[in-house]
Amino acid sequence: MSTPTHVYRKLRGGGFSWKGHGRLWRAEDHLLEVTSIYVSESYRRFFFQDVRAFIVQRTNLRAIWAAIFGGVGTVCALIASATWWAGISNSSEDWHVALYIPTALFGLAALVFLVLCVINLSLGQTCRCHVLTSTGWHALSAPTRVGKANHTQAEIISIVQAAQGPAPTAGPPPL
């Protein structure tokens, strides 16, 4: 007896969390979450018939990472400036050339951290996605940015509505 094969389509937006790198895949009748860390993968399947809600919740991780990257980059830039200034102001000493090595290293570190800060800010607002099923709330590891999460949410909602049929109309039950 052959097992049915599913054709999967990757949805927009991946995500990194403490569980690893996450991705969402769509099949005809279910949503598959694949979370991988190094050589280990875990899978969770959510059938569209069972999905009751798909929630996108904004988080402050973007600001936290921007503060960390920007702060470390600024400190490295200040140290690079101080060592460069010490080398310039003591140019008559023989050891002033040795100060250019930490200047270059801290300057490079400042550049890397400030570029990471700009990339983080340009990716947009961070978020956390949840799926509500009959078994409860399930936090997803992807997507982690609001723009891609809204696109994924719209796609999943349209598929869920098609799979479950029209919503019941409000009003008294028939006699």
Tell me the pLDDT band of 33, cut-offs 50, 70 and 90. very high
Q: Which tens digits make up the pLDDT trace of 76-94?
A: 999 999 998 988 888 777 7
Which three-class secondary structure state does DSSP give residue 109?
helix
**Mean of the per-residue pLDDT values of the chain:** 88
Does the pTM of the predicted model rise above 0.95? no
Closest CA to 13 of 154, 162, 173, 175: 154
Domain residue limits, the chain: 9-59+126-162, 61-122
CATH number, domain 9-59+126-162, options 3.40.50.150, 2.40.110.10, 1.10.238.10, 2.30.29.30? 2.30.29.30
Integer Cα distance of 24 and 32 in angstroms: 6
pLDDT (average), residues 16-40: 87
Integer Cα distance of 29 and 60 in angstroms: 33
Q: What is the pLDDT, as a whole number, of residue 175? A: 63
Q: What are the residues whose beta carbons fall under 8 Å from the beta carbon of 174, sequence distance 6 or more? A: none
Q: Which tens digits make up the pLDDT trace of 107-132?
A: 999 999 999 999 999 999 999 999 99
